[in-house]
Amino acid sequence: MKRYLKKARVLCIVFFVVILFGLCWVVNNGNHSLAKYRADIINLSRKYVKALAETQNVDFDDPYSAELTGYDLKKTLAVILDDMLRRIDQIELKLSNLTNSSPQLNKHYSESINSGPIIPHTARGLKMSSNKKSSYKKINYLDLLQDAQENCVVQAKEIPLYPECFSKIEWLRTRWKTHSCYVELGIDGSECSFVRYLSEVESFCPQLDSRKFMKRHSEAQITRDLNGLVRILYSVKNHLSSKSFMITRLKRMWPDWLAGIQHYINGVNSPQANYSSLDHCRFCSPDDIACADICQSTKLIGQPFLFGRPKLNILLHMGFLSNDFYKNSFESYISKGGPLGELVQWTDLIAALYILGHNITITYEAAEAKLNLLHPYSSSVACQVENNKYDLIYTDITGFRNLKKVNIRTPLCKFRILDTFGTEALYNRKKELWSGLHLNLQQFYTFFPHSPDNTFLGFVVEILAPKYKASRQSSSKPVALVYGKESYMWANKTNYLRILSDYFEIHGNVLDKVENLPKFVHIHQIQYGQPYLELMSKAQIMIGLGFPYEGPAPLEAIANGLIFLNPRFDPPHSRSNQAFFTDKPTSRSLTSQHPYIENHIGEPYSYLVDMDNETQIRLTIERFLTNISNGTYRPHEYSPWGFLERLNAYLTRQNICATPFYKNLIQSPLPIAKADTPPKFNYLDVPDIAVSWPPASSLTIVLGSRGKSCADVCMNLGTSEHTLLLPSNISTYSIRNNTQHQQIQNGYIYYRSIHSTPSPNLSYLYTFRCSPEHFPSVNHRLNLQYLGVSCPNITYTTSSMAPYWDDAGRSCVFQASNEWFDCTASGTSNGSDVFYRFCPCRDALPNQISLCSNCL
């Protein structure tokens, strides 16, 4: 018995040992099988996808082929997951049968591929979504097999905003291996990496949907600390004269700036304003077009976008002060009384951008600007790259050309050109000393609102603080100050001044040679600044000499209580008769030394005089001396509040990159808007190429009278000589007699109507302006048809008058080039025929002619 028990014990031990070895073998063999199955699946799937590609004649994109980017782990798994994830609850049961199902899957996928959309070669590797709400869905196997890549989706409507995108992609396709920088910055030859580089390192393509929220602008905050701005200016090396001028002006005027921004804030925060609909705007990415569209559509009429604005990075490049500009002549003339208007404007622009809370960088030399635009990408990548750090670049014509010489490849639509006298369409196309830049005319920012084709930037008129004002001396004659700080301006004016000396005690401030000046004039030699302003405060009259044209001093005089004698020109001064205008990019004719004061202010703050007509001079002087007053007037446009109001509207609403000009379009749909409803389009639902600013609600289309410019047609819209083109449900009477432009009286509009200084010129207060942004809207047969215009014949031409109606040919003549749209063109088209122009007119915000009532 014991023997049997012993044998049984041995057998049990042997049995357990055998079982243990068996289990170990099974486990090891099972692990080996799982690994083998996994490898088999991947290998078979790789072969499967390659077979599909060969069957459909689909080329491989290099970065995802072979070992370079893990082809099997990307495209292969895309195919597997597309099928397997739909049946994830049965995946364990299907694994063993997956390899046997290839023929059926092959047939199914092949049929799907044949019916799928084909990505154009120009967009190779990109998936363009037309969904207005940004979609972040994973790309599917159809897109991958047609060369699209995962997370490589852009919104189709954003592509036209980047006209250079495809050409830059083509360039990188052939040259990305020419420098190690491209590899270091993440380019591996894939279309997706090209777009990522061109959108995030440079700025020539739209951001990929999957990366839009990786970087956000911070929110701009109102900044009141002057010391921070002074530190920025002091950080600039050299240029001591210009820095001293700017800092001194800023310190004098800072209380005025603070009062201006407070008025702006008070208006925006006034009780009737409601920002609940705009709360979501602060969460918009600057590149999220859909989000921005929602904000735009929910914006209250006339309500500024002040809170929740993105903080922009802005480069200010003052080329006119560079050492290369006529051997630094401008900088050297600052202390000698040279032309300071440009420096006044730059100082005020810098102040306003700083107060509005944006990041600003100031440069003078092109090489210095290039270092800011081309810099090491990161501490780990030594490559000098051009990136999209700056949202806007303000410069002047000299600075723009200098930047082009050093090969700055920043998109042209980011530039804003400070241009004192403005640039007209003819000279934008024509290569001359100060012209031929081929930019959108709205990119030229002017000193005065000369032409609606350009953008009016302006400056701030300084009012001397009461504590610095000198008491006016009680003498037998009123004190008059001559406007002419250099002796050449006084040439041939002695007789004119002698007549005036019968009525006034005449003073002058001249900083160069004074030997040849009239002896009856009290000559001072005071630098511009507080001493000069104190001298001006002693006077009651400012005497114009006919030159310089359109400077800031006469406006300063009026704002400080002086009457300006404005010399009248007959014939008007222009390129045809004045050497000064020979190289200026404008054909404007000046009817006086200061047309803005003549047309928009007038009496009793200014009087026109004929310098060569003694009788007229004496009659004019005697007329206003009988009732001389010390009244002051500063236009709202030239106050800190007005400047901030205007500039902020440009920064938040004026998207030059989205205009038809940079989309290479000459036509765009016309949004038809009714009150309290979003705009609809009269023939196609294509809002992405429509002009959104100025909004369509401010627009009136007019058929002008024979030979008139659109600038004149719109300014005289209230007269019956022009034909208003309106839908059948709107009467002409309601437009012509709506001089005050009905508006929703929100809090801001109501506040500014009470607190802003009204214009003494009512025709200027309520007026219309040509809206060049909407020329593509007018340049369209279907839009005109909606407005009741029948075009029996249609032709296209490059004429400054187009679009127009040719009565002789009974035809609508449309513009063939967006560089030829022109608000100011008038008269004949070819030297003999006179046409009727189709003009886009918009209303003008009272006391702010450059903005419409809904443009804030």
Residue-wise pLDDT tens digits, 644-689: 999 999 999 998 887 887 777 787 776 654 444 444 444 443 445 6
Record the tokens describing residue 276, joined without a space: 């609940």
Looking at residue 87, its pLDDT comes to 53
Q: Tell me which range, 67-71, 93-97, 497-501, 703-707, is most confidently predicted by mean pLDDT.
A: 497-501
- Number of domains the chain is built from: 5
Given this model, what pLDDT does residue 287 score? 45
The whole-number average pLDDT for the span 261-288 is 63
- Nearest-angstrom CA–CA distance, 474 and 468: 18
Cα–Cα distance measured from residue 340 to residue 421, given in angstroms and rounded to the nearest whole number: 14
d(CA 827, CA 833): 8
In the chain the first and final C-alpha atoms are separated, in Å, by 110
At 210, phi and psi to the nearest 5? -70, -10
Q: How confident is the model at residue 462 (pLDDT cuts 50, 70, 90)?
A: very high
**Which tens digits make up the pLDDT trace of 355-390?**
999 999 999 888 888 777 765 555 555 455 555 678
- The pLDDT value recorded for residue 609 is 97
CATH of residue 505: 3.40.50.2000
Q: Which residues pair with 541 in a beta bridge?
A: 480, 563
Decide if pLDDT at 103 tops 50.
no
Residue 11 shares a structural domain with residue 80: yes
**Domain shared by 105 and 136, yes or no:** no
Q: Give the strand pairing for 384-386 and 563-573.
A: unpaired
Same domain? 480 vs 557: yes
* Domain-terminating residue out of 618, 633, 648: 633
Phi, psi of 296 (to 5 degrees): -65, -40
Higher pLDDT, 540 or 382: 540
Lowest mean pLDDT among 56-70, 261-275, 446-460: 56-70
Specify the pLDDT at position 577: 92
Residue 491 falls within a domain, yes or no? yes
CA distance 619 to 641: 38
CA distance 277 to 288: 18
For 295-330, how does the pLDDT look when each residue is reduced to its tens digit (9 = 90+)?
A: 443 344 568 889 888 999 999 999 988 887 665 667
Mean pLDDT of 795-810: 89
Same domain, 415 and 540: no
Cβ atoms of 828 and 822 within 8 Å: the answer is no
Is 639 among the domain residues? Answer: no
Band of pLDDT at residue 735, cut at 50, 70 and 90: very low
Q: Which domain holds residue 89?
A: 2-115
For the segment 119-142, the average pLDDT, to the nearest whole number, is 42
Give SS3 for 128: strand
- Quick check: is 52 in a domain? yes
596-636 per-position pLDDT tens digit: 999 999 999 999 999 999 999 999 999 988 877 778 999 99
Tokens of 335: 């202390």
DSSP 828: B
Asked if the structure places residue 277 within a domain, the reply is no
- Same domain membership, residue 239 and residue 186: no
For residue 144, pLDDT beyond 90: no
- Joined tokens for residue 714: 């719109």
Same domain, 57 and 9: yes
Higher pLDDT among residues 154 and 820, named by residue: 820
Does the pLDDT value for residue 414 go beyond 70?
Answer: yes
Percent of the chain residues past pLDDT 70, beyond the cut: 66
Would you say 744 and 750 are in contact if contact means Cβ atoms under 8 Å apart?
no
Same domain for 236 and 177? no
Kindly state the DSSP code that residue 640 receives in the 8-state scheme.
H
Rounded to an integer, what distance in angstroms lies between the CA atom of residue 718 and that of residue 715?
A: 8
Q: The tokens of 489 are what?
A: 């301006």
Backbone angles phi, psi at 73, to 5 degrees: -85, -5
Q: Rounded to 5 degrees, what are φ and ψ at 748?
A: -70, -50
What confidence score (pLDDT) does residue 279 get?
Answer: 43
415 has pLDDT over 80: yes
**pLDDT score of 29 more than 70:** no
What the block records as the tokens of 395 is 């410069």
Q: Is the pLDDT of residue 96 over 50?
A: no
Flag whether 393 is in a domain: yes
pLDDT digits (tens, 9 = 90+) for 165-174: 878 888 888 8
> What pLDDT, on a 0 to 100 scale, did the predictor assign at position 851?
93
Q: Is residue 146 part of a domain?
A: yes
- At residue 256, the pLDDT reads 96
Which of 160, 182, 211 is the endpoint of a domain? 211
Based on the domain organization, do 434 and 511 belong to the same domain?
no
User: How far is it, in rounded angstroms, from Cα 630 to Cα 750?
Assistant: 29
Residue 255 or 744, more confident = 255
| H or E stretch covering 27 | helix 2-56
- Supply the Cα-derived Rg of the chain in whole angstroms: 35
Question: Angle, nearest 10°, between helix axes 341-355 and 226-234?
Answer: 130
Q: Which of 843, 844, 847, 639 is nearest to 759 (CA)?
A: 847
Select the more confidently predicted residue: 78 or 820: 820
Q: Which of 639, 654, 463, 636 is nearest to 562 (CA)?
A: 463
Residues 452 and 496 in one domain: no
Give the separation between CA 233 and CA 328, rounded to whole angstroms. 19
57: left (phi over 0), alpha (psi -120 to 50) or beta: left
Of the candidates 609, 480, 635, the one whose C-alpha atom is nearest the C-alpha of residue 556 is 635
Q: Is residue 515 part of a domain?
A: yes
| pLDDT (0 to 100) of residue 285 | 46
Mark which of 399, 426, 456 sits at the end of a domain: 456
Contacts of 660 (CB under 8 A, 6+ apart): 666, 667, 668, 689, 691, 776, 818
The verdict on 412 and 265 lying in the same domain is yes
Task: Based on the fold, state whether residues 813 and 716 are members of the same structural domain.
Answer: yes
pLDDT value at 444 more than 90:
yes
262 and 397 in a single domain? The answer is yes
Residue 638 is assigned to a structural domain of this protein: no
Mean predicted confidence (pLDDT) in 502-529: 89
The number of CA neighbours under 13 Å toward the Cβ of 847 is 21
Q: Which has the minimum average pLDDT: 420-424, 464-468, 600-604, 610-614?
A: 464-468
Q: What is the pLDDT of residue 248?
A: 92
Strands across the sheet containing 455-456: 359-363, 313-317, 392-396, 415-418, 444-446, 455-456
What is the H or E stretch that residue 405 is in? helix 397-405
Distance CA 171, CA 436 (A): 27
812-850 pLDDT per residue, tens = 999 999 899 999 988 765 555 678 999 999 988 888 999
User: Rounded mean pLDDT of 514-543?
Assistant: 88
